[in-house]
Amino acid sequence: AQSVTQPDIHITVSEGASLELRCNYSYGATPYLFWYVQSPGQGLQLLLKYFSGDTLVQGIKGFEAEFKRSQSSFNLRKPSVHWSDAAEYFCAVGAFTGGGNKLTFGTGTQLKVEL
């Protein structure tokens, strides 16, 4: 069964500083990996996804993530954080089954941005 670990429950960074959120996955085959962001009281918005190909993927809002098979990781990065990036971030691994994509989520990392 697939699983996702996000080791950092909370992270605080200063506005303008760089950011890296960690994600490790467990999956028996080629993983399909996702990062979603959830602002307070909102639904989840897709930041980026990895299906195959280039291991460095670009997403919306200036985010990128790198798939490292040897480390079973898919860490999210941003070179310069904005105050509006404060939110909950979820990493997920997908399994395509029977016509659907069963996403297994990590427990999330709450990002706070200090002005």
* Cβ-based nearer residue to other proteins, 3 or 18: 3
* Cβ-based nearer residue to other proteins, 18 or 42: 42
Dihedral sign for Cα 24, 44, 112, 19, please.
Answer: positive
Burial class of residue 19, CB neighbours in 10 A (0-12, 13-18, 19+):
middle
Residue 44: half-sphere exposure toward Cβ, Cα within 13 Å: 13
Among 1, 52, 99, 115, binds other proteins (CB under 8 A): 99
Stretch that binds other proteins, among 13-21, 54-62, 67-75, 104-112 (CB under 8 A): 104-112
Stretch that binds other proteins, among 17-25, 58-66, 72-80, 103-111 (CB under 8 A): 103-111
